[in-house]
């Protein structure tokens, strides 16, 4: 029953029209940050209006093909393509056990709680509260590979009968339109404009998800992404401009280990290496030992 419930939840998330207030809390050490957003969803389209002080005036429209970020304070709309995401849940089910954990009311709706537990240690997990009538996920808790709660998102209010006008999914015509130049674009391996190095070792359960071209501050870059159905490991390979050999962008803190630099952050860990003229960063919410094995097998 828990597996069937999860399957229905995955297939129904974009189909249930509703409005609601959603709160997200993110935990980093002893610090907590939070955001409150208004959700308006209809026929697969979602508009998110940020209500928190720092982000108030910001809205995001997602039409499943692109996102349009509306900044009402600066009267701009930034358009970003959405990377293709698979709705196939079979990979997740092959790597995780799905366990029922009772029931609870969220936003005055009855939910079934299920836990998504990794079959292979050292991977993240999550807990979901699924509406028993329409299978919408009303609450989600995410635990990192050390089994520490790092974020939770939950509805405080929800309305499945609200009238939603189609006009809210159309950005203002008098705004300045911008195209994001930071987004990755999926590509084929043969179309990558430089020679890449792929690891000869991956943790159990991970498969290739795809290749994504991106624009670092300088040089050319590609993201090689692997997934186990819930978690992902990314290998970022950058060809620096002539005369530059070290990647200096994006690094704020870390420590040296076995000739590599480790970085810890909310999403997991990262390690930086240099191979055959490439600046390579391996990013994933996995153990340092597994990161090191991947790094040792990139050659």
pLDDT > 90 fraction of the chain, expressed in percent and rounded: 75
Q: What is the arithmetic mean of pLDDT over 195-202?
A: 97
Q: What is the DSSP string of 86-116?
A: ----HHHHHHEEEEEEEEEEETTEEEEEEEE
User: pLDDT digits over 43-67, tens only?
Assistant: 999 999 999 777 788 999 999 889 9
Structural domains of the chain in order of their starting residue, each with its CATH number:
2-179 (2.50.20.10), 185-296 (3.30.200.100)
Question: pLDDT grade, residue 144 (50/70/90)?
Answer: very high
| Inter-residue contact 82 to 64 (CB < 8 Å) | yes
Least Cα distance to 42 among 18, 62, 20 occurs for: 18
Whole-number CA gyration radius for the chain: 21
Q: Which residues contact 243 (CB under 8 A, 6 or more apart)?
A: none
What pLDDT is recorded for position 256?
Answer: 35
Whole-number average pLDDT of the chain? 88
pLDDT greater than 90 at residue 88: no
CA 255 – CA 247 distance, rounded (Å): 15
**Pairing verdict, β 76-81 and 176-179:** parallel
User: pLDDT digits over 245-292, tens only?
Assistant: 444 333 333 333 333 333 344 458 999 999 999 999 999 999 989 999
């Amino acid at each position: 029953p828990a597996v069937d419930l999860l399957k229905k939840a995955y297939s129904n998330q974009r189909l249930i029209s509703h409005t609601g207030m959603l709160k997200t809390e993110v935990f980093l050490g002893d610090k907590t940050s939070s955001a409150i957003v208004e959700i308006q969803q209809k026929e697969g389209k979602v508009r998110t209006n940020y209500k928190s002080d720092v982000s108030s005036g910001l809205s995001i429209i997602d039409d499943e093909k692109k996102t349009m970020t509306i900044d009402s304070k600066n009267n701009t709309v930034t358009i970003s393509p959405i990377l293709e995401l698979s709705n196939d849940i079979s990979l997740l089910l092959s790597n995780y056990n799905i366990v029922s954990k009772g029931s609870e009311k969220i936003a005055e709706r009855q939910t079934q709680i299920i836990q998504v537990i990794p079959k292979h240690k050292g991977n993240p997990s999550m807990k979901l509260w699924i509406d028993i009538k329409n299978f919408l996920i009303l609450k989600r808790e995410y635990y990192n590979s050390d089994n520490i709660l790092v974020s939770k998102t939950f509805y405080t209010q929800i309305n499945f009968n609200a009238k939603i006008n189609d006009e809210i999914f159309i950005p203002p015509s008098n705004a300045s339109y911008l195209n994001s130049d930071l987004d990755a674009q999926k590509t084929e391996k043969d179309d990558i404009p430089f020679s890449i190095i792929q690891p000869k070792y991956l943790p159990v359960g991970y498969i290739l998800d795809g290749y994504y071209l991106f624009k670092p501050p300088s040089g050319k870059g590609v993201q090689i992404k692997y997934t186990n159905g819930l978690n992902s490991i990314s290998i970022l390979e950058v060809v620096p401009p002539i005369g530059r050999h070290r990647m200096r962008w994006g690094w704020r803190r870390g420590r040296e280990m076995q000739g590599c630099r480790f970085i810890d952050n909310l999403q997991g860990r990262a390690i930086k290496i240099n191979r055959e003229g490439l600046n390579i960063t391996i990013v994933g919410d996995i153990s340092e030992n597994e990161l090191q094995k991947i790094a040792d097998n990139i050659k």
